Chains A and B, each alone.
Chain A
Amino acid sequence: MKVKLKVKRTDPGTGETSYSRYQIDTVESTTLLDALIQVREYEDGTLALRCSCRSAICGSCAMRVDGRARLACRAKVIAITRGNQEHEITVEPMGNMPVIKDLVTDMELFWSKIRQVKPYLQPEGPEPEGEYRVPNEAMLDLTHTMNCIMCGACVSDCTVLEVDKNFIAPAALAKAYRFVGDPRDAHQVERLRQYSEYGGIWDCTRCNMCVEVCPKGVAPMNRILQLREMAIEAGITNNAGSRHTKIFTKSIEDGGRLNEVWMLPGSVGMFNVPRLVKEAPGALKMLRAGKLPLSQMIPPGAPGSHKISGMDRVKNVIRKSAALKPKKAEVVSDGA
């Protein structure tokens, strides 16, 4: 099988970029990593890339393939090209990070974000003689998050990180969940408070990019959403993010539909004059364009607010859905 590659090169001295094209002959079951190694070993020894285990456990070989971050050792060439041997695969280094050389990036940004979330277990009290006794479901749940091999794919393609390097980014927040969700950690609320600050869980734009590119099914965004749920439950609600969730939910509970008008003041704070003033020109433009629904001028919950018909049935469903919530895992008991 023929494999055509177009690989982005970066000269480590000058920073100049270019593309090198390669064409090799190899077997059908080849992975992209196999192909790159073949290039490196037999065609062009100057090509630099990180790789080690070849079995998606060490996390070294994340790179952008046809525009999307992937683990090269898990990317079958034939799946990328869909069998079309003329398709030239574009291989580039991960995004959102400085490039050292060719496909090797400087991952310090990634590691510094991990350090930011205090990524070590913080138990409290005397250590048990034996193991901490915790339910298997809790461990299984965390194992999904532990599947993270720190490859960087999620950070590479995170759309928020592109515009704001302060965002803690998916991998670190997934790791944060691993501790908040661990019954043995004694600092859950403190952690949630830390993660609810600027740059944390509420700064995710919920685009699912990290879920899509994660090669190990960690689904970082889903972990972020779980953290949001837990933060609200823990009463950490003095931020725009949780206020936004509250007003949105209230809007549905009251009228069945989203009340766009009250989204803004409800989230940023009814008395957040500076922010409201900032939005005024935009709101006026919308009003002029006939896009501000007058039916929504009354806030959700107030008499006369906009409702769909049959709200009593909706309220019934909402009320009963509370019983669907799963129970939280706890430490069963300490000690042997």
Chain B
Amino acid sequence: MAVYEHDVLVIGAGLAGMRAALAAQQLGADVGMVSKVHPVRSHSNAAQGGINGPGLGEDGGPWEEHAFETTKASDYLGDQDAIEILAKEGGREVLQAEHWGVVFSRKPDGRMAVRRFGGMGKARTFFVGAITGQAILHVLYEQLLKPSVYQAMRTYEEWFVTSLIVDDGQCRGCVAMNIRTGELHAITAKATIICTGGLGRVYEPSTNALICTGDGIAMAYRAGAPIMDMEMVQIHPTTLKGSGVLITEGARGEGAYLLNKDGERFMSKYAPNLMELASRDVVSRAEQTEIDEGRGVDGCVFLDMRHLGEQLIKERLEEIYEIARDLVNIDITKELLPIQPGVHYIMGGIKTDVDGLSPMPGLYAAGEAACVSVHGANRVGANSLLDTLVFGRRAAEHAVPWLQGKKFRPIPESVVEKDRKMIAEIVDRPANGDRVAKIRRDMGLSMSENVGLFRSPDKLEKQKAILKELRARYEKVGVEDKGKVFNTDLLFHIELGFMLDCADMIVTSAIERKESRGAHTRLDYPNRDDEHWLKHIALQRQPDGTEKMFYIPVTITQFQPMERKY
């Protein structure tokens, strides 16, 4: 029988994962948490600008306002019951984080300070300089180090999950490789919460870390869970050219301007009210239009922070100052910073309800890997951190009572055989001149080219064909490292497989949605079409291996869809 058994298994140890693990442990469950990197290496640490606290600060307005602005930003594709929960429960999560020790910046009266963020008329984004994600991630990790928690929980650090275990239609944990030994094991559980984050590396360049390869989304898909809204890929307005490294929206929140090559604040043409703080998709499209129409320089426009003053920058945007100085030799207190739109976030993911439960019993998801959907067709900045905490907790709070008193069949260790064979086959493949890195790069560059900000049917179809070709190459390419210990060559190979699955889903959904909504812009269908397309597109692998596409209606409670202007 399987050696490792838990009540709740959390896959991924970023903000959502650790929040879920903490909540589950506090409810008395036996928790296991798997992560392919050490928890503090998770990509949550790259979130810079802040976390929204609806209804918290005095000037941010009531939580209902945040619910509305989130719904509007989602271009009305967000499910409003979920958005209401996010807005209602979000403030409490931010306070909890502060009580746990997050060093939020303060106002002179000692209360937490706020800054403006995109898509919102009032300031309700709480922050720690420009390292908010890292600050919260580290504090969550600290909470897990409390002896009562640390001794009760088991963390599988640097274990790589290769597939989910599905028994009798129920998710029963996962098969994972201990990266340090190369051995595969079954880690079984009664409830599994997937918190594996996004898939930015499907594109090249992107703001995402190298580990963001859509593992959980692909595995859930392969296991038969429905995946939703995959065409909704957020393209962040301010990333560095070449590397794609993120420059926080918080800079604009503190007052930075966007300028074209003529020194104009061009956002006045596209979003005269909110200007640089319009919704991200609006800003990215504006920038790209400026660039395409010849008013950019070298594929970039400029972020101007000179007028913010050295003190503010050092106090609130220090991280950005250092990134600009160290990566591109620019002093933002004195010079303009060239930036361009870059892939940043996937609004889509594993379909869940407001408790993080997917239609497959025993399978939960939270954070970027999930699609509840709170972000719809476009995410508001600083809502992702909120999403991870609120729904990470909720998933645990639903899973733990649910699994009480139920019977669960034990899972045999032999369940790892399938993956063991797959890995052996990959390792045994002879060199054939191709390399995983080449295929990955070809995928990334072509996705950026053909499935980017402005999409057209011929480019989408072209990408479909490219992906088919890449998959054929993938089935034949081998790895150079044949060892067992820390074989990253092999891990990259498996990750590429996950990414190709995700890329396929993105293209399929993008071809299907014949309208423009939020982050998805079709040149042949430039308008929003609520009559035909106010619905989610879901993809689900069937037992016979084919893919079924179906639609899921959008839950509307308070806010009827309106025209979206900033």
Contacts and interface: CB of A to CB of B under 8 A. Distances in A.
Q: Do chains A and B touch in the complex (CB under 8 A)?
A: yes
A53 B244 CA distance: 11
A60 B41 contact: yes
24 contacts: A41-B436, A46-B489, A49-B488, A51-B210, A52-B37, A52-B209, A52-B210, A53-B43, A54-B210, A56-B323, A111-B38, A120-B143, A120-B146, A131-B98, A134-B106, A135-B106, A135-B110, A136-B106, A140-B105, A143-B131, A146-B135, A150-B40, A179-B101, A185-B101
Interface residues of A, number: 61
A179 B142 CA distance: 11
B142 A59 contact: no
B245 interface: yes
A275 B322 CA distance: 49
A326 interface: no
Given A100-B485, A114-B145, 7 more contacts: A31-B327, A52-B210, A120-B101, A121-B99, A142-B103, A143-B135, A179-B101
Interface of B: 37-38, 40-43, 45-46, 56, 95, 98-101, 103-113, 128-129, 131, 134-135, 138-139, 142-143, 145-146, 150, 180, 209-211, 242-243, 245-246, 315, 319, 322-323, 326-328, 435-437, 479-481, 483, 485-489
Residue among B37, B98, B110, B323 with most chain A CB within 10 A: B110
Contacts of B99: 121, 123, 127-128, 131-132
A58 B103 contact: no
A259 to B, nearest CB: 42
A72 B150 CA distance: 31
A139 B111 contact: no
A150 B42 CA distance: 12
A148 to B, nearest CB: 8
A107 B37 CA distance: 12
A333 B110 contact: yes
Contacts of A131: 95, 98-99, 104, 111-112
Interface in A10-67: 12-13, 29, 31, 40-42, 44-46, 48-60
A254 interface: no
A107 B110 CA distance: 38
A134 B145 contact: no
A46 B111 contact: no
Contacts of B56: 130
Residue among A52, A60, A149, A182 with most chain B CB within 10 A: A52
Given A114-B145, A121-B142, A133 B134 contact: no
A121 B101 contact: yes
Contacts of B323: 55-56
A121 B143 CA distance: 8
Contacts of A49: 488
Contacts of B135: 143, 146
Contacts of B103: 139, 142-143, 146, 182
A149 B46 CA distance: 11
Contact of B111 (A41, A44, A56, A133): A133
A332 interface: yes
A54 to B, nearest CB: 6
Contact of B483 (A12, A76, A132, A150): A12
Given A52-B210, A100-B486, A139-B106, A59 B41 contact: yes
A146 B486 CA distance: 30
Contacts of B322: 56
What 9 A-B pairs have minimum CB-CB distances, sorted nearest first? Answer: A45-B480, A133-B110, A121-B101, A41-B437, A12-B485, A136-B106, A332-B110, A45-B489, A46-B481
A306 interface: no
Nearest to A41: B437
Contacts of B43: 52-53, 58
